[in-house]
Every structure is written in C-alpha cells, then in structure tokens.
Amino acid sequence: MIWSTLAARGRGTAALQRPRGGAEPLRSSAAATRRLHLGCGIESLGHGAKVLPGWTNIDIEGDGVRTFAWDLTSPFPVPDRSIDCIYSEHFIEHISLTDGAALLAECRRVLVPGGVVRLSTPDLRVLVEKYRVGETGEWRDMGWEPHTPCDLMNEGLRNWGHLYVYDEPKLIAVLTEAGFARAARCRWGVSAHPALQGLETRPDHGDLIVEGRA
C-alpha cells in the first residue's frame, strides 16, 4: 500500500493546526508500507515530527516525503484489510471521545485479520494518583511541573489541546466497541509483536499503552 496523492483536509484541533497556505497535494511515499504511524507530529511546530523508519508517518501536515498529510478524524483513504499494524503515541487524547471512537473503528476496518493497533496516551489514573498524593514533579524532565496539585489536574486534562484523557477500562471499552476482539495493556516499549516493540519516544511516566488485535 502506498499513501499517495493526499491532500490535507478537514478539521484541525488546538494541537493540530490547519496546513499553511491551504490544501496541497503531496507526493507518494518512496516506499510501500503496510504500517501506519498516526499523529506523528508536525515539523513546523518546532519540536519536529517523530518519524518511524519503514512506516507511513501521518499528521494534519506533512512534507510528502517523510510525513504525509491527512485529517485523522476523516476516513482513511486505505482499502479494508490492507494494513498490518498501526501505532499512535500521544494523539488520541487530542481529539474528542466521539472522534476517537471513529478513529479506532477506521483502524479496525483497515487492519488485516490479526493486525494490531498500539496506542500510547496519558493515563487518567496516574494524574489522579499524583494529585491525591500531592506530587507535582513527575514530569519535570519533560518541562512540566505544575505549581500545585490542583494545577496538575487541570493542566493535565486541558493543556496541549487535550480533549479527552482515558483510563484503562475506558480505552479498552472503546477498542472493544470498535470491533477489536482482544485489547490489553502493555508495558512501555514491550510488545509480543516485533514491529511494535520499542516504539515509544517519550520517557516512561506511567503512560497508558494498550494494544488491540483485529
């Protein structure tokens, strides 16, 4: 499968800006791939895209060579049962619960039988526990240290364009409702599937990491 001749389209969120200068068709990937990396990041925001070699790296903006533009709240331009695995790190919390459910239904549609989606996202339970014990320094190494536990809770839920922060039962329920036969929590960097091992780029701060099998 080649992610070809796409145009950036549709809606953005607070974290996903509309393409500058309007929609622009993008060149095809230089290499065919059956692995999708969703919400890879945007070069123009200054922190750079997190490009996975051998994957099709997608966000609301792309350069057509290393990254490709698509509104991930829209149906994928990909045939049914054509993708082996999907990875997304710290993206699903930037879209609404409704859009997140639709995204996971699209993932289920395009995955081959036995294909796997791996999601990494902040864990609501971790935020609540840090609030409960009054610990605000967990994410100091990432440049975030709220002044008070109250600030931690509010910022963790609202900053960076967060729209819906999941806990484990909720994310597994949404995956199940999307049609995934099995969904379970995984450890940081660890997967039973070689293609999904060691993909996390953020430090391990108790993120919620779940895999769903089609």
CA distance 48 to 44: 7
Q: What pLDDT score was predicted for residue 46? A: 58
- Strand arrangement, sheet containing 111-121: 68-69, 56-59, 35-38, 83-89, 111-121, 208-213, 182-185
Instruction: Tell me, yes or no, whether 176 and 73 share the same domain.
Output: yes
Instruction: Tell me, yes or no, whether 130 and 207 share the same domain.
Output: no
Q: What pLDDT score was predicted for residue 16? A: 30
Instruction: Tell me, yes or no, whether 177 and 104 share the same domain.
Output: yes
CATH number of the domain enclosing 58: 3.40.50
Instruction: Tell me, yes or no, whether 71 and 108 share the same domain.
Output: yes
Q: How many domains does the chain have?
A: 2
Instruction: Tell me, yes or no, whether 53 and 153 share the same domain.
Output: no
Instruction: Tell me, yes or no, whether 45 and 145 share the same domain.
Output: no
- Between these two residues, 152 and 27, which has the higher pLDDT value? 152
- Between these two residues, 58 and 64, which has the higher pLDDT value? 58
Instruction: Tell me, yes or no, whether 47 and 139 share the same domain.
Output: no
Segment of 6-10, 64-68, 166-170, 199-203 carrying the highest mean pLDDT: 166-170
| pTM confidence score | 0.85
The pair phi, psi for residue 56, each rounded to 5°, is -90, 110
Which distant-in-sequence residues (6+ apart) come within 8 Å of 146 by Cβ? 136, 152, 155, 156
Pairing assessment for the beta strands 68-69 and 111-121 based on DSSP bridges: unpaired
pLDDT above 90: percentage of residues in the chain:
78
Instruction: Tell me, yes or no, whether 101 and 137 share the same domain.
Output: no
Q: What pLDDT score was predicted for residue 14? A: 27
| Mean pLDDT, rounded, of the chain | 86
Q: Mean of the pLDDT values across residues 185-204?
A: 95
- Asked if pLDDT for residue 134 goes beyond 80, the answer is yes
Instruction: Tell me, yes or no, whether 26 and 67 share the same domain.
Output: yes
Instruction: Tell me, yes or no, whether 67 and 134 share the same domain.
Output: no
**pLDDT tens-digit readout, 21-35:** 333 332 333 335 799
Domain that holds residue 140: 123-161
Pairing assessment for the beta strands 182-185 and 111-121 based on DSSP bridges: unpaired
pLDDT above 70: percentage of residues in the chain:
83
DSSP, residue by residue, 123-183: -HHHHHHHHHHT---TTGGGT---SSHHHHHHHHHHGGG------HHHHHHHHHHTT-SEE
Beta-bridged to residue 208, according to DSSP, are 121
Angle, helices 149-158/124-133, rounded to nearest 10 degrees: 170
Instruction: Tell me, yes or no, whether 2 and 96 share the same domain.
Output: yes
Q: Mean of the pLDDT values across residues 115-135?
A: 98
Q: What pLDDT score was predicted for residue 43? A: 77
Amino acid at 202: R
Sign of CA pseudo-dihedral 138, 142, 147, 150? negative
Q: What pLDDT score was predicted for residue 4? A: 46
Instruction: Tell me, yes or no, whether 90 and 116 share the same domain.
Output: yes
Q: Long-range CB contacts (< 8 A, 24+ apart) of 141-148?
A: 141/203, 142/202, 142/203, 142/205
Contact between residue 59 and residue 21 where contact means Cβ atoms under 8 Å apart: no
- Asked if pLDDT for residue 6 goes beyond 90, the answer is no
Q: CA dist 104 to 8, 70, 101, Å? A: 20, 16, 5
